[in-house]
């Protein structure tokens, strides 16, 4: 469960900024609903999934309204930079020091080993 510290850190950082958001009473969350079980859409067009549930739980804890902003995964970080959204919640990970595809591949392999043991789990 390497995601637990990441999720916990995210929760604490959002709760710390709750006083700033309290004035606005809304939290705009960017998401790409194309990756079940993390985020997808039902036949009725409603967003469902783990990321969606986590976001709603954070908003409830912070006593703000979630406003879900759908977009392409590649556009989430630029949307944050221009303040179109307040946060992105789409199963993102951070790879510090990743500079090349080779480094990225190594980082992903290490992440798999951490999650699934020495064999690295399924590709």
Answer yes or no: pTM beyond 0.95. Answer: no
- Does residue 91 contact residue 38 with C-beta atoms inside 8 Å? yes
Between 114 and 64, where is the model more confident?
Answer: 64
Q: Is the pLDDT of residue 5 over 70?
A: no
Return the pLDDT at 69.
Answer: 96
- The domain defined by 3-92 folds into D-Maltodextrin-Binding Protein; domain 2 (3.40.190)
> If you average pLDDT over residues 31-36, what whole number do you get?
92
CA distances from 7 to 10, 14, 24, 42, 53 (A): 5, 11, 23, 25, 12
Between 111 and 99, where is the model more confident?
Answer: 111
Three-class secondary structure of residue 69 per DSSP: strand
Label residue 82 by pLDDT band (50, 70, 90): very high
Residues 8-30 have pLDDT tens digits of: 555 655 555 555 555 568 999 99
Between 120 and 39, where is the model more confident?
Answer: 39
Between CA 49 and CA 35 the distance in angstroms is: 9
> If you average pLDDT over residues 79-89, what whole number do you get?
91
Domain boundaries, the chain: 3-92, 97-123
Three-class secondary structure of residue 105 per DSSP: helix
Among residues of the chain, what percentage have pLDDT more than 90?
A: 42
Mention every residue, 6+ apart, whose C-beta is less than 8 A from residue 66: 26, 27, 29, 55, 56, 59
Return the pLDDT at 92.
Answer: 72
């Amino acid at each position: 469960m390497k995601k637990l510290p990441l999720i916990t850190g995210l929760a604490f950082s959002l709760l710390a900024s709750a006083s700033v958001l309290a004035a606005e009473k809304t939290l705009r969350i960017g998401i790409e609903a194309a990756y079940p079980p993390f985020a997808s859409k039902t036949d009725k067009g409603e967003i469902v999934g783990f990321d969606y549930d986590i976001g709603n739980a954070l908003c409830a804890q912070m006593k703000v309204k979630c406003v879900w902003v759908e977009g392409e995964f590649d556009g989430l970080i630029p949307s944050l930079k221009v303040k179109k959204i307040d946060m992105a919640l789409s199963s993102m990970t951070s790879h510090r020091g990743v500079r090349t595809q080779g480094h990225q591949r190594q980082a992903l392999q290490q992440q798999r080993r951490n999650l699934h043991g020495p064999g690295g789990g399924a590709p």
